[in-house]
Amino acid sequence: MTTTRQDRSNARQRKPLRSLGHALVVEDDGLIAMDIAEALAEAGAEPVVTCVSVAEAMLELERAAPALLVLDVHLADRDDGWALAELAIQLAQSPPLILFTTATPSSIPPSASTLGHVLPKPFRTEALISLIEQQRPLGLIGRIRHALSGQ
């Protein structure tokens, strides 16, 4: 059986080259949360945990520190979701990559917006994954490739 270039490309898309680690999605819209969680899992996040409130997310942060936090800043139980980002940074040995998702980016205080990256709603999950790929730290092989490419 011959493997084509398309077969190899499809295999790479199905199996990420590098894990994103533990992801925590805090989103009170069930469909959006499910869409984000599925995209993160396909991109290599494991496990992906979803929470619908700051209170639920705080319990999850007590269990495990995420490598990636996707956070809607206006939730049903609190309107200052960025406080959760501050807590996640304080609890983790290494700070998570934080992505704020909101329909009103201007409502995030400047001091809070420096904690992570703001992704205005509505957005496509491809844009979310692309932002994560651009922002996550390079592993050893990635640093070598980057150095060799002269960028």
CATH of 20-149 among 3.40.50.2300, 3.40.50.620, 3.30.950.10, 3.40.1350.10: 3.40.50.2300
| 117 within 8 A of 98, measured Cβ to Cβ | yes
Of 15, 31, 27, nearest to 56 by C-alpha is: 27
Q: Which amino acid is at 28?
A: D
* Residues in the chain, pLDDT under 70: 1-18, 137-151
pLDDT tens string 67-91: 999 999 889 888 888 889 999 999 8
Task: Give the model's pLDDT for residue 98.
Answer: 95
How many Cα neighbours within 13 Å face the side chain of 25?
23
Residue 125 CA to residue 11 CA, distance in Å, equals 20
| 99 within 8 A of 131, measured Cβ to Cβ | yes
Task: Give the model's pLDDT for residue 80.
Answer: 83
pLDDT tens string 48-66: 999 999 999 999 999 999 9
What's the pTM value of the predicted model, to 2 decimals?
A: 0.79
Of 53, 77, 68, 73, nearest to 121 by C-alpha is: 73
Task: Give the model's pLDDT for residue 151.
Answer: 55
